[in-house]
Amino acid sequence: MTGSRILAWAACVLAVSVGCASRSGPEGDSDSDGDVHAADSDVVTDDAASDAGDTATDDSLDAGDAEPPEFDCGSTEGFSNPAPGIAGHTEIARWKHDRSAALTINFDDSTPGQATLGVPAMIVRGLTGTWFVNPGTSSYLAHQDRWETDAPAESQELANHTMDHAGAADYADAEYQIGEASRIIVSAYPPSRSPLMGFNRGGGTTWNVTEEQVQSLLEEFHCIERAHSTGIYPATPGETMLTQIGDHLSSGGWADDWGNVHFHGICDPADAVNCVCDTPGTSSNCREYGGGVNNGAVSLAQFETFLDGLITDSYFVDDVWIAGFISAHKYQAERNGSQVVMIPDTDERIVLCLSSPLDPALYDESLTLMTELPGGWISCIANQDGVSTTCRIDGTTAFFEALPDGGAIVLSQD
């Protein structure tokens, strides 16, 4: 490649400010277990590079005269991200799939209704929930297979709500409450999965340890605290949930356009033994009883109405990334700390390196990249570490997924 071409393509570096706090999600109070009606809240309380080259980088050589180059993303000093408007300029989408907002649907306390009604309802609709479980409680143990086998196998995300939802009497107890729950959750997934997980210590609990000790344990066991979340009031109709959450997201009511909501009980009013409502047999202000719990509960019918809206309403389908808490956290942290540069190559390919200062053993969420294509490109294949995917093209911009520090990304025409 000529020197002038290299200079034209190496214009500036995309440097996104690094931000990775020990707490994640919308800012707010650390106690997130209290129920708050969404309408009453102003603040709502996450090997080597691919040898994909087809031609030599020296313009004087034909493709058959040299081996395809190996792109080393470990040494990108001196390379840059082209300026906007130049082919190869790349940006990281705000949220995955270039969605404008993210939504995390959380569930606290591992109640029987969550296990028997909630998990299946999410799975059948292809939605991922984050289940903050208490592995030491009778309600969890009664449905242990659902929590430790069925839910993980169907892409549901387990998170740490402590062993017993009872706080901690001292440091040894805090280590058990956090550490043992983490070990159980990690063991429910394949060893290759990142051990990073969400954490919530539980409302109404007392921890007889210092905050520094709690934070040290969270770091040791790879826990990210859910700083704030909005509880769904039990009597809220499903359509109202959908409208209020949609309005709050679309108006920028959540920090970084990431909404966190959480449910407690889920029950069917037709089950008069385990679901007690103000008006028997209706969805009015119900409570889930039995199995060691006594929680405010949304009715199954209203919960399913809400979920059906998430997969049919055009705003949620087109503009919102519905993801597990830790997936959203990882995307946010990686997005804020990653850098993209382009390695000058040929007119037939674009070679990119995506790097992050975060530990790839923990932060392994793919990012959505948006790259400006050369004029005349009508198709695009993205290859990273031997895995090829077809880009989505909108105008002259290609959209595709890539993993930070996952090797060089080579874009070529189909």
What is the chain's pLDDT, residue by residue, as a tens digit (414 residues)?
433 333 333 333 333 333 333 334 433 333 434 333 333 333 333 333 333 333 333 333 333 333 345 678 888 888 999 999 999 999 999 999 999 999 999 999 999 999 999 999 999 999 999 999 999 999 999 999 999 999 999 999 999 999 999 999 999 999 999 999 999 999 999 999 999 999 999 888 999 999 999 999 999 999 999 988 899 988 899 999 999 999 999 999 999 999 999 999 999 999 988 998 888 877 778 999 877 778 889 999 999 999 999 999 999 999 999 999 999 999 999 999 999 999 988 889 999 999 999 999 999 999 999 999 999 999 999 999 999 999 999 999 999 999 999 999 999 998
- Cα–Cα distance for residue pair 28/342, rounded to 1 Å: 38
Q: What angle do CA 9, 336, 201 make, to 5 degrees?
A: 165
Look at residue 151 in the predicted model and tell me its pLDDT: 98
Angle of helix 171-187 versus helix 211-220 axis, rounded to 10? 20
Look at residue 135 in the predicted model and tell me its pLDDT: 98
Cβ pair 372, 85 in contact under 8 A: yes
**What Å distances lie between residue 27 and 22, 157, 191, 264, CA to CA?**
12, 22, 32, 21
Look at residue 97 in the predicted model and tell me its pLDDT: 98
Torsion sign over Cα 127, 363, 254, 34: positive
Domain ranges of the chain: 99-330
Look at residue 412 in the predicted model and tell me its pLDDT: 96
Cβ pair 228, 45 in contact under 8 A: yes
Q: State in words which class domain 99-330 has.
A: alpha beta
Q: State the pTM of this model.
A: 0.83
Look at residue 36 in the predicted model and tell me its pLDDT: 34
- Cα–Cα distance for residue pair 139/137, rounded to 1 Å: 5
- Cα–Cα distance for residue pair 107/277, rounded to 1 Å: 20
- 236-263 as b/e: b if 16+ CB within 10 A: bebebbbebbbebbeeebbbbbbbbbbb
Look at residue 69 in the predicted model and tell me its pLDDT: 53
